[in-house]
Structure 1
Amino acid sequence: MHDSTFSDAIAEVLEIREQYVKDRSVFVEGARMVRILQTLGATDEDLERIRLVSDHLAPDPTLPFRESKNGRFCFDFDHSTVYRLESQPFALSAEEDFVRHDSGQTRIFEEIGNDLQGNSAFRALLAFKSMIFREVPTAPRAKLDYDNPSWICTVFNLRTVSTPDLVGEPALEGVHSDGVDHTMTTFLGSENMTDDSAVTFLHDMRERNATRWNETDPELVLGQCRHRHFLDTLIVVDHERKHSLSPVSAVDKRLPATRDMLIFFTRKPVLEGHISHPYDSLKAHERLPMAIGLPSPVARRELVGAGSPVAGGTAPWT
């Protein structure tokens, strides 16, 4: 890969980051993401494979219209790496602006496997996100340890399914936040889904939690977007923008409609008293180990890079 190609891609990422800092959210179209991820090591073969990774999900622990898996990763910027963390239960509370029937419940998801974490496109998504959120100041959340140098990223692979008997809700909880510092959502694909399905609305933090997407105050709507093309990606400062989504509707009402996503929840480790404190280990996963290099601050600032191997491709950063 030519240095100029890599430099152009890094410059493009920094442009996206500048918009994120300014607007506290940014939507990146899929075609642009493909170019960036290829520069960050994603192979054509893995880009095709990641489209289908949601075909192997498990039943969701609390939502009948969803299939899911998750996995935990640690951004270790001191060593310019991200590594897989051991599996832990998952919980979100009303205190974190998440109000649903299962708020505060401890949920256990099936783990994502090497078909996803070993995919070079997925690894490039982790690298991309690291470059966007690193050193971006945000409104702090209660009971998070901002003195800790590590960042925990919980990744969800989700399929929302609507059937003739069941409406698939990407956000059954209505207006909410995700209890983190930075949320990134990436579209993998859909089947039989209408063009007006699954619209994401961004709301001022004054909007009332659990309000349905179509019952919110228009004056508190800060924007909207729709994931419709492969790798369309939205990144949001989670404690400064709430969000809601409309349901998944079927073109052919007789058949299921599906929507496949990757969700990257990234936050600081929690402090004692936080609902997730018992489930916030920084221990590496023993059965499913993974560790990859991340773009260094030098690569970001000076727009230069040298070859560094990533499974399935080459990531040209130092």
Structure 2
Amino acid sequence: MANLTSNHSFNMAIIDEILKLKDTFAKKRIVFIEGERMTNWLVGLGASEEDLEKIQKVSDGLEGDPTLPFRKSKNGRFLLDFAHNELRRLEFQEFILSAAEDFVRHDSGETRIFDEVAMDLQGNTALQALFLFKSLMIRGIPTKHRPMLDYDLNLYVCTLFNLRTVTTGDIVGEPALEGIHSDGVDFTMTTLLGSANMTDDSAITYVHDNQDKTAARWHEADPKLLRGSHQHRHFMDTLLFVDAECKHSLTAVERKDFSRDATRDMLIFFTRKPVVKGHVSYKYDSLVDHKTLPLKVALNQVQ
């Protein structure tokens, strides 16, 4: 298994660039990184060119989704353990997101079972470099506290989703069917792996003040509460924001050529402190390592 900090060719100039962006993130609470820049950074953080190619095709292995007919998905749980300065894969758990966390959809509060992220993604050095990037960006950044999370622990649980949203002649793919929402976490990071046959106005992310109405459609938002918009258009375009301090919504995936399907492939990183008793996810928040898909990657010491 690759260990990123065993690569002595770490590009310290790139780490300095990332830390400058971290200063911006600490002030603005949201940053968008264009894919060309991110790809260059990932190589400096240990990603191989071969793995950058492979990760663009990893979503071809997705098969279905527990509740959404227009989506294919896998997920996996990881631990950013800053106390021991390492990334680890955690054991499988069911997933739940509730209306109390500003997520209102037909499956709110349901326990969902996703197919597990496998070695084709977990073992990819580009993914591991993305985790390293996120760890550099969020370490030491204080956020608004969500209820029933343990902010005394120097670690974060990260649920990674690999998602393909599909629009066909029969169904429209909605990256955020739930409308204006939050993800119930401290930090959310979204990274584009690829897309096909999408219109130029597809999958625009709108960021809203927390006062905006949960579950409203993106076009129903209060313009006075809109904090910005971003669109993933190129490989590795990445958006990182403090989920606890804003809400967001997305436009649908629309087809440019009506004779073909449109697809959008993403990595979504939900990152939060571990929960305490009373939280809806308490039964599904184990910190035990995965026995059959183990991973341990040292995180860079830079803070």
TM-score (norm 2): 0.96
Out of 256, 278, 286, the position equivalent to 1:251 is: 256
Deviation at 1:16, TM superposition (A): 1.4
**1:89 corresponds to which residue?**
94
**1:7 corresponds to which residue?**
12
**Distance of 1:287 and 1:7 partners within structure 2:** 34
Q: Which amino acid aligns with 2:144?
A: A
**Distance of 1:99 and 1:122 partners within structure 2:** 30
Matches within 5 A, 1:10-89: 10-89=15-94
Q: Deviations over 1:292-318 (max 9, x none)?
A: 01011xx34xxxxxxxxxxxxxxxxxx
**1:292 corresponds to which residue?**
297
Q: Which amino acid aligns with 2:45?
A: L
Q: Which amino acid aligns with 1:92?
A: L
**2:275 corresponds to which residue?**
270
Secondary structure of the structure 2 residue equivalent to 1:171: coil
**Distance of 1:30 and 1:100 partners within structure 2:** 31
Deviation at 1:195, TM superposition (A): 1.3
**Distance of 1:129 and 1:172 partners within structure 2:** 26
Q: Deviations over 1:48-72 (max 9, x none)?
A: 0000000001210000000000000
Aligned length: 297
Q: Deviations over 1:70-94 (max 9, x none)?
A: 0000011111100000000000001
**2:207 corresponds to which residue?**
202
1:282 aligns with 2:287: yes
**1:184 corresponds to which residue?**
189
**Distance of 1:212 and 1:10 partners within structure 2:** 38
Q: Which amino acid aligns with 1:242?
A: K
Out of 134, 145, 149, the position equivalent to 1:129 is: 134
**1:306 corresponds to which residue?**
none
Deviation at 1:2, TM superposition (A): 8.8
**1:101 corresponds to which residue?**
106
Deviation at 1:131, TM superposition (A): 0.3
**Distance of 1:22 and 1:66 partners within structure 2:** 35
Q: Deviations over 1:5-44 (max 9, x none)?
A: 7121011101111111111100000011011100110000
Secondary structure of the structure 1 residue equivalent to 2:88: strand
Secondary structure of the structure 2 residue equivalent to 1:58: coil
**Distance of 2:18 and 2:279 partners within structure 1:** 33
Question: Unaligned 5+ residue runs, structure 2?
Answer: 1-6
**Distance of 1:18 and 1:248 partners within structure 2:** 33
Secondary structure of the structure 1 residue equivalent to 2:75: strand
Deviation at 1:147, TM superposition (A): 1.3
**Distance of 2:233 and 2:244 partners within structure 1:** 25
Question: Unaligned 5+ residue runs, structure 1?
Answer: 301-318
Q: Deviations over 1:204-230 (max 9, x none)?
A: 000000010111111110000100000
Deviation at 1:255, TM superposition (A): 1.4
Q: Which amino acid aligns with 1:38?
A: V
1:235 aligns with 2:215: no
Aligned residues: CA RMSD: 1.1
**1:315 corresponds to which residue?**
none
Runs of 4+ in 1 over 6 A off after TM superposition: none
